Amino acid sequence: MNVLVLNAGSSTLKLSVLGDDDALLGSRELEAPRGVVPEQELVGAISALGRPDAIGHRIVHGGDRFTDATLITPDVAAALRGLIDRAPLHQPKSLAALEAVERVLPDVPAVGCFDTAFHAQMPAPAATYALPAPWRVRWGLRRYGFHGLSHAHVARRALELAGDAPLGLRIVSCHLGAGASLCAIQGGRSLDTTMGFTPLEGLVMATRSGSVDPGLLLWLLERERLSEPELAAKLEHESGLVGLAGSADMREVLAAEERGDERAHLAVATYLHRLCAGIAAMAASLAGLDLLVFTGGVGENAAAIRTRATAGLDFLGVGIDDAANAAEAHERELTSPGASVRTFVIKAREDLEIARQVRAVIG
């Protein structure tokens, strides 16, 4: 079964076709500014890639209803539109891609694969906010978690790279890209994660703030009379690295830090402070740590971030080899001699996880 995988990003639409053996048969990347899918170019890209047997869409939010990959029907699509307010930065783009592809390939079965699904069975203490029960029940207020497709791939691939390791290994997956989240994984299950009700919670990200004292946000709304749309725009698009250093690109921030830029130094130090604290918290949720994995654009490519993050985790038994860390291979082990925790770099491949889920649904 050839599966066409679509991944709608903030400004691009990535298409790839995977064969039965997960071989990459072709790929295209289209510019999609402001989430607008260029349908004419989409038709050309699909024609060039060839007609697929099935389609898999990465969809960020599945809410409480969609806890597994699901065949897209009109009812499902309508329900997903009802979740736009849970992930306003991502959900509209995924749905725009879904609708555009449906017009191009109306008779090819399409499956929605959800970033929240991997976290759907998190233990209640990890998923629960200490809010009034009527609120939690009425509005479904809970920690959903995101980047589940990436973390699910890491869970599988890490065990392959670790060789004859037992299935119960305790893994902390660090998905560090424009968006960033950590996940505590054991037995192929998510036991905890850093993102919550929306993708804003948790780590410092490229343009997103990560966790902020809710009292501070109330103060801005009440005292400074910021509007809700203004506050949302600042937290989503003008915070994180760009708010601290003026650039959302970690490569630029690290280069500026090397030149002595104090803003860049603060940005990297804040990023690493949250990252190290988060990894330790995930290890606490697992009652220990066996494997530490870096993935995503920053996780795979920023050797300096891996060096400085792991230097603060030696108390957990983490240590990495400088030569292995500096190498450019996409997937490799970084563990230094004597370290009790094994550390890996794994290439982010949500497309492989999506294709696997599509085949499970279509059969």
In angstroms, the CA 218 to CA 340 distance is: 44
What is each CA distance from 268 to 272, 280, 333, 334, in whole angstroms? 6, 18, 24, 22
Helix axes 303-311, 262-286, angle to 10 degrees: 60
Q: Is 53 a catalytic residue?
A: no
- β-sheet bridge partners, residue 344: 293, 333
Burial class of residue 167 in the structure, from the number of CB atoms within 10 Å of its CB (0-12 exposed, 13-18 middle, 19+ buried): exposed
Helix, strand, coil: what percent of the chain each, to 5? 45, 20, 35
Q: Taking Cα atoms as reference points, which of 286, 15, 93, 74 lies closest to residue 173?
A: 286
Catalytic residue among 115, 192, 290, 351: 115
Q: Which string of b and e fits 257-272 if b means at least 16 CB within 10 Å?
A: beeebeebbebbebbb
Spatial neighbors of 26 by CB under 8 A, at least 6 apart, are: 16, 17, 48, 49, 50
Other Cβ atoms within 10 Å of 223 Cβ, number? 8
Q: How many residues does the chain have?
A: 363
Burial class of residue 329 in the structure, from the number of CB atoms within 10 Å of its CB (0-12 exposed, 13-18 middle, 19+ buried): exposed
- β-sheet bridge partners, residue 29: 14
Catalytic residues: 115
